[in-house]
């Protein structure tokens, strides 16, 4: 098979490539896509790429980078995960969420795992995200982590590993939904060659989980999405989710708490609110308990949750499980709370509070990735192999001063996927954020997730707030498995429809055959 | 002075609140003014009255403090809270067994009391002072002796002067100005004890300050603060008076520092507010 | 029965409606004055400008001279004052932006592109005269009104937009007519006012009074069917409130605003068209007060917002 100059060659010694097992040799599941792309030249690719961008702009899909609204670049080559790979991944994610749920319940309850020395108490009590106000607030359906984003990477040997746990306010699912919509509109023909799990079930699942978490005895709970407002970078997602779930999008000033009951201010008077899917961080949520200068929060909200008249999702205080230092203990938490071996490994990590680890890392700083324990959005991360000497020297001093504030990880070469850059398809590093919903009874993992691409060559930090891009993520439905569960709309092969009808001489591409899109 | 086996029956009346420049449209508040039921004190009666009237709700917070919450939505120009309680206090056995100073530094113990060993906003002290501490008060094997020595040193360096500080004053600030009230002396003591590895916590409550008052005589008392330290068990000590804790002390709440146990905190929407001050009247009735 | 929309959104829609109407009507009034000034080069420009500022509620001290330049700077192009034409357009845009999710995308695009074109239009006006800018604003307001009627459901969203538009129109019609009371000799004549209200053709078709001031005043205040007549706007506002009341669950609470509006309607119904001119000052004041009172009543009934509550920690001082 010939690969034209459209694809820039991969170097398997550098990283595991998702598409090519060796230069010019596509992996079986990507064969069809590579065949199609072979026939495109740079202009064709550019045209498709621009088309995708336009679809996004028209729908107003942007995010705010440095105060400016930008389109979030979607790359046209999807990232594919086989059914078997997905089975392993989703089981690992479910296990992880269950362990973190048990951990949070314990830490805000009896603290058994602390008494038993599984996790140092000081780690918890000194964490700025440990929310003492959350003690005594137990969610009705026992789900604290209604929505989670467990970030996954694939290492040089092709194994999936957990990079980071995000259990506070993980964002990005709106891109998953919009990416799929844009791909089916602009590149629909690709779908006819694959059976891809749809992603449009997410809002319905989320709504169901939120309703299930309502205070006991409420027959028809009112659910709202609480947003900080139009200036928030993820505002677009708040609007989309509220719309797709068919619930009201509210700001802090729309809600008022009176004697521990939460109400929404409407033109027809105050209406009770029972579940709040909040996209506001703990510190800004309630000026009575936390920052009194917060104008986006709702005074008295925490006490209302405590009085069980309202459910806050995700629960207060989840941030103590987001701590990157805590991340290094999660395999032990899985063993302790679930009595199981972890299905997904961490990236090898080192706690710099431990003298031996600190010494090893300081000696070989250029080999490690150093992350602040309480960072987000990729800020503050230093990638040893890519940092200059000055940065490393400064970092050594910082680490000596505050070792507990950092962890170090072996620099993993994240897997790569061909991405459209400079009129070519060149390998770029990716990670994956799958989204999981916990309704108290089961943890459902959205088949797909957000594959984030680091657009600069060789860059390893893949994050939307650092100028990255994304890819549509396809989880293949396995034909050999049991029939797809009710409610899941699997794409059927469009073989019978693949003859393009010609209308007035123009050829129309066959779109996805069966499944309706559900929403608008 | 209280003698072993003695007890006291105290009636407490504590009034506090806020007055607004203009009006407040609405406010949300939490009061931590209800004495705890403990082996050393029995709460016979406790009532919180709020003016203007508001529906009250109660819960126990992380530190097990009894918290009463209430919110107001009608315009008002002042908020007054009255806490009344009748408490029977018992004096404790002064011969407290104690672990050695060395055993305080065992990893398991350090882990268990991590929260009471870590500095907080109001209990941070500069290393210069901590170094000075080690010079003047070399730790002894007997924890009680060490604590006494620290308190003697604190009382030597910081004088009790009413109104000399703010509710937000830190131990470092107090040390620098060499003056403070009971809250400050407590914070300073806690900062120093923690630096020596002695887990310490802040206790807020009341003190019937006139031991010679007769039964039925109302004494203007104090909203008071003192220290509890761990020595195998939690033991109280009053750095302001340099004394132990007796039947004239009533415990309301315990935490890492004042910020965990403010008697009345809240937020409101309206003109500038200032505190109504605090009036505490204690009557020994038995 | 409607569940009621968020008060915050309702208030944003109401003000969007008001500001678009304000931009439109202010542009009409200013246009009438500029027309008047152009027609009479020997007239007292200063007096005419003063009365223009006065009727727009921005009275200027009599000792300060005003000319056309001032009118343009302060009443037309000022971006910060929401009572200036440009300021009103920007205010409408800002309100709509925060309610973007409940208006149609076409309505939003209309306001957004209007805002974006202001600079270009201004430069054009500096070349060919302010009339083009004023017409631009009126045309875009008309477009917005048309899109409001055609691209969103006539439910709460629409009622609040139209309610805002109507109350503003009542107020602005009163101001337009007030120009005949203040310094009448320096103000546009009755026919010019009629034209400014876009009423010329309708008036001529139904009237027999020619250019009789009483008939013109009666048309602009009392006519039941002309959209810019005060009475008609009162009717529209009342209908919106009726629909809102019927849709809601709060029928037990008396809707004050309806009462205010109906009282004004009744007063107008009982006025004698033949003695309208002598009653004019009283009627115009009634209209402005009605608009203001209804605004307050609607705000407290439907919106009752303590906007962006700023919390203070108690005892901070």
Q: SS3 of A224, please?
A: strand
Asked, for residue C2, whether it belongs to a domain, the answer is no
Question: Which residues of B are less than 8 Å from C300 in CB distance?
Answer: none
Q: Distance from C307 to chain B by nearest Cα, in Å? A: 11
d(CA C231, CA C221) in angstroms, rounded, equals 6
Asked, for residue C315, whether it belongs to a domain, the answer is no
Map out the domains of chain A with their CATH numbers. 348-411 (3.30.1490.270)
pLDDT for A332 equals 97
Q: What is the pLDDT of residues A278-334, one digit of tens each?
A: 999 999 999 999 999 999 999 999 999 999 999 999 999 999 998 888 999 999 999
- Using pLDDT thresholds of 50, 70 and 90, give the confidence band for residue C305: low
Structural domain boundaries enclosing C172: 7-303
Residue A255: closest C-alpha in chain C: C6
**Does B102-260 carry CATH code 3.60.110.10?**
no
Question: Which residues of B are less than 8 Å from A132 in CB distance?
Answer: 61-63
Q: Where are the domains of chain B?
A: 7-91+262-284, 102-260
Instruction: Let me know how long chain B is.
Output: 286
**Interchain pair C315, B29: CB under 8 A:** no
3-state secondary structure A355-417: HHHHHHHHHCHHHEEEEECCCCCCCCCEEHHHCCHHHHHHHHHHHHHCHHHEEEEECCCCCEE
Residue A109: closest C-alpha in chain B: B62
Among the partner residues B25, B267, B275, nearest to C306 by beta-carbon distance: B25
Among the partner residues C309, C310, C316, nearest to B273 by beta-carbon distance: C316
- Using pLDDT thresholds of 50, 70 and 90, give the confidence band for residue A467: low
Q: SS3 of A419, please?
A: strand
Query: Buried b / exposed e across B83-102, counting CB within 10 Å, b at 16+?
Result: bbbbbbbbbbeeeeebeebe
Q: Characterize the bridge pairing of strands B179-180 and B159-160.
A: parallel
pLDDT for A59 equals 64
d(CA B207, CA B252) in angstroms, rounded, equals 11
**Interchain pair C4, A292: CB under 8 A:** no
Among the partner residues A265, A287, A293, nearest to C304 by beta-carbon distance: A265
Between helices B182-195 and B127-136, what is the axis angle to 10°?
A: 80
The closest of C304, C99, C103 to A266, measured between CA atoms, is C304
d(CA B99, CA C222) in angstroms, rounded, equals 95
Q: CA dihedral in degrees (A508, A174, A212, A448; nearest 10)?
A: 70
Asked, for residue C259, whether it belongs to a domain, the answer is yes
For A162, phi then psi, to 5°, come to -85, 130
Touching A (3+ Cβ pairs <8 A), the chains are B, C
**Interchain pair B265, C314: CB under 8 A:** yes
Q: Distance from C317 to chain B by nearest Cα, in Å? A: 5
Residue C241: closest C-alpha in chain A: A267
**Interchain pair B59, A136: CB under 8 A:** yes
Q: Rounded mean pLDDT of chain A?
A: 84
Q: CA quadruple C256, C258, C264, C269: dihedral positive or negative?
A: negative
3-state helix, strand, coil in chain C (%, to 5): 70, 0, 25
Task: Quote the number of domains for chain C.
Answer: 1
Q: What is the pLDDT of residues A230-275, one digit of tens each?
A: 888 889 899 999 999 999 999 999 999 999 999 999 988 889 999 9
Tokens of A512: 């996805």
Higher pLDDT: A72 or B275? It is B275
Q: Distance from C306 to chain B by nearest Cα, in Å? A: 9
Residue B275 has pLDDT above 90, yes or no: no
Q: SS3 of B145, please?
A: helix
Q: CA quadruple A402, A407, A410, A415: dihedral positive or negative?
A: negative
CATH number attached to the domain at B7-91+262-284: 2.60.40.2250
Q: CA dihedral in degrees (B53, B54, B56, B62; nearest 10)?
A: -110
Dihedral-angle region of residue A128 (phi above 0 means left; psi in -120 to 50 means alpha; beta otherwise): alpha
**Interchain pair C314, B267: CB under 8 A:** yes
Q: Answer yes or no: same fold for B7-91+262-284 and B102-260.
A: no
Q: Which DSSP helix (H) or strand (E) runs through B16?
A: strand B7-31
Asked, for residue C313, whether it belongs to a domain, the answer is no
Higher pLDDT: A17 or C212? It is A17
Asked, for residue C246, whether it belongs to a domain, the answer is yes
Asked, for residue C317, whether it belongs to a domain, the answer is no
d(CA A403, CA A353) in angstroms, rounded, equals 5
Asked, for residue C312, whether it belongs to a domain, the answer is no
Q: Model ipTM?
A: 0.92
d(CA C164, CA C17) in angstroms, rounded, equals 5
Among the partner residues A230, A249, A265, nearest to C7 by beta-carbon distance: A265
Higher pLDDT: C161 or B271? It is C161
Q: Rounded mean pLDDT of chain C?
A: 89
Most confidently predicted of A199-203, A489-493, C250-254, C269-273: A199-203
d(CA C101, CA A144) in angstroms, rounded, equals 30
Q: Characterize the bridge pairing of strands B273-275 and B7-31.
A: antiparallel
Number of neighbouring beta carbons within 10 Å of residue C184 = 12
Higher pLDDT: B285 or C38? It is B285
């Amino acid at each position: 098979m010939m690969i034209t100059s459209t694809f820039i060659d991969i170097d398997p010694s550098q990283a595991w490539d998702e598409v090519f097992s060796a230069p010019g040799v596509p992996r079986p599941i990507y064969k069809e896509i590579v065949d199609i792309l072979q026939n495109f030249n740079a202009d064709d690719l550019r045209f498709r790429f621009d088309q995708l961008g336009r679809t996004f702009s028209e729908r107003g899909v942007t995010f705010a980078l440095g105060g400016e609204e930008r389109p979030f670049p979607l790359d046209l080559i999807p990232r594919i995960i086989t059914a078997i790979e997905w089975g392993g991944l989703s089981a690992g994610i479910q296990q992880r969420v269950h362990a973190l749920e048990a951990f949070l319940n314990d830490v805000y309850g009896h603290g058994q795992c602390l008494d038993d020395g599984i996790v140092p108490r000081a780690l918890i009590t000194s964490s700025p995200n440990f929310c003492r106000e959350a003690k005594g607030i137990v969610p009705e359906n026992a789900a604290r982590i209604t929505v989670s984003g467990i970030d996954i990477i694939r290492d040089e040997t092709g194994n999936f590993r957990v990079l980071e746990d995000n259990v506070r306010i993980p964002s990005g699912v709106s891109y998953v939904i919009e990416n799929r919509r844009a791909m089916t509109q602009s590149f629909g023909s690709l779908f006819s060659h694959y059976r891809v799990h749809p992603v449009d079930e997410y809002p319905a699942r989320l709504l169901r989980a939120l309703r299930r978490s309502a205070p006991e005895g409420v027959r028809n709970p009112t659910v709202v999405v609480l947003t900080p407002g139009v200036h928030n970078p993820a505002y677009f997602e708040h609007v989309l989710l509220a719309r797709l779930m068919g619930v009201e999008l509210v700001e802090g000033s729309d809600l008022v708490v009176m004697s521990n009951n939460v109400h929404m201010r409407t033109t027809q008077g105050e209406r009770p609110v029972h579940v709040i899917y909040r996209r506001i961080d703990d510190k800004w949520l309630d000026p009575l308990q936390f920052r009194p200068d917060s104008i986006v929060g709702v005074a008295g909200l925490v006490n209302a949750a405590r009085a069980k008249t309202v459910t806050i999702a995700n629960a207060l205080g989840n941030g103590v499980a987001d701590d990157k230092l805590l991340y290094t203990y999660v395999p032990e938490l899985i063993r302790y709370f679930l009595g199981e071996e972890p299905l997904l490994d961490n990236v090898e990590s080192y706690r710099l509070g431990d003298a031996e680890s600190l010494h090893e890392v300081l000696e070989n700083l250029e080999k490690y990735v150093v992350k602040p324990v309480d960072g987000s959005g990729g800020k503050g991360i230093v990638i040893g192999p890519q940092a200059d000497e000055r940065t490393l020297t400064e970092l050594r001093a910082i680490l000596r001063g505050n070792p507990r504030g950092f962890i170090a990880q072996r620099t993993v070469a994240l897997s790569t996927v061909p991405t459209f850059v400079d009129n070519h398809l060149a390998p770029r590093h990716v990670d994956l954020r799958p989204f999981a919903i916990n309704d108290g009874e089961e943890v459902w993992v959205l088949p797909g997730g957000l594959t984030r691409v680091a657009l600069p060559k060789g860059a390893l930090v893949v994050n939307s707030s650092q100028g990255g891009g994304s890819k549509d993520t396809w989880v293949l439905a396995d034909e050999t498995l049991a029939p797809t569960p009710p409610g899941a709309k699997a794409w059927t092969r469009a073989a019978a429809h693949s003859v393009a009808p010609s209308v007035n001489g123009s050829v129309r591409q066959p779109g996805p055959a069966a499944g309706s899109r559900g929403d608008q | 002075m209280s003698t072993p086996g003695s007890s006291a029956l105290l009636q407490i009346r504590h009034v506090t609140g806020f007055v607004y420049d203009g009006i407040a449209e609405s406010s949300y508040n939490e009061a931590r003014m209800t004495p705890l039921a403990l082996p050393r004190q029995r709460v016979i009666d406790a009532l919180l009255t709020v003016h203007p009237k508001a529906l009250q709700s109660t819960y126990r917070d992380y530190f097990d403090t009894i918290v009463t919450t209430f919110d107001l939505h009608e315009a008002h120009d002042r908020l007054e809270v009255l806490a009344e309680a009748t408490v029977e206090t018992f004096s404790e056995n002064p011969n407290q067994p104690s672990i050695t100073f060395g055993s305080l530094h065992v990893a398991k113990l350090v882990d268990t009391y991590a929260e009471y060993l870590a500095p907080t906003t109001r209990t941070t002290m500069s290393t210069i002072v901590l170094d000075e501490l080690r010079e003047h008060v070399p730790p002894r094997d007997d924890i009680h002796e060490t604590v006494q020595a620290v308190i003697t040193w604190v009382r030597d360096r910081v004088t009790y002067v009413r109104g000399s500080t703010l509710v937000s004053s830190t131990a470092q600030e107090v040390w620098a100005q060499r003056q403070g009230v009971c809250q400050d002396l407590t914070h300073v003591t806690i900062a120093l004890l923690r630096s020596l590895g002695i887990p310490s916590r802040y206790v807020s409550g009341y003190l019937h300050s006139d031991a010679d008052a007769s039964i039925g005589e109302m004494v203007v008392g104090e909203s008071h603060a003192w220290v509890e330290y761990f020595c195998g068990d939690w033991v109280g000590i009053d750095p302001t008076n340099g004394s132990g804790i007796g039947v004239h002390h009533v415990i309301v709440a315990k935490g890492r520092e004042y910020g965990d146990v403010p008697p009345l905190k809240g937020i409101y929407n309206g003109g500038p507010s200032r505190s109504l001050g605090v009036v505490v009247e204690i009557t020994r009735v038995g | 029965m409607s569940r009621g929309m968020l008060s915050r959104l309702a208030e944003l829609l109401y003000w969007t409606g008001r500001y678009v109407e304000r931009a439109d009507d202010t542009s009409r009034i200013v246009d009438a004055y500029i027309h008047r000034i152009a027609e009479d080069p020997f007239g007292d420009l200063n007096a005419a400008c003063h009365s223009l500022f006065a009727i727009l509620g921005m009275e200027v001290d009599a000792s300060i001279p005003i000319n056309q330049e001032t009118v343009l700077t302060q009443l037309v192009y000022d971006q910060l004052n929401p009572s200036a034409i440009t300021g009103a357009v920007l205010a409408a845009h800002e309100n709509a932006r925060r309610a973007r999710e409940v208006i149609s995308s076409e309505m939003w695009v209309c306001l957004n592109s209007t805002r974006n074109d202001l600079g270009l239009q201004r430069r054009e006006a500096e070349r060919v005269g302010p009339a083009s800018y004023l017409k631009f604003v009126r045309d875009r307001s008309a477009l917005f009104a048309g899109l409001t009627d055609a691209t969103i459901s006539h439910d709460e969203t629409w009622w609040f937009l139209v309610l805002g538009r109507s109350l503003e129109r009542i107020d602005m019609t009163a101001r337009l007519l007030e120009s005949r009371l203040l310094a009448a000799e320096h103000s546009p004549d009755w026919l010019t006012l009629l034209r400014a209200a876009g009423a010329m053709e309708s008036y001529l078709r139904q009237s027999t009074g020619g250019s009789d001031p009483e008939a013109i005043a009666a048309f602009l205040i009392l006519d039941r069917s002309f959209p810019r007549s005060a009475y008609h706007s009162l009717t529209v506002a009342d209908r919106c409130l009726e629909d809102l009341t019927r849709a809601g669950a709060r029928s037990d609470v008396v809707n004050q605003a309806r009462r205010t509006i109906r009282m004004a309607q009744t007063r107008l119904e009982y006025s004698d068209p033949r003695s309208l001119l002598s009653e004019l000052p009283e009627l115009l004041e009634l209209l402005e007060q009605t608009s203001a009172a209804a605004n307050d009543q609607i705000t407290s009934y439907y919106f009752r917002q303590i906007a962006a509550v700023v919390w203070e920690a108690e005892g901070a001082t």
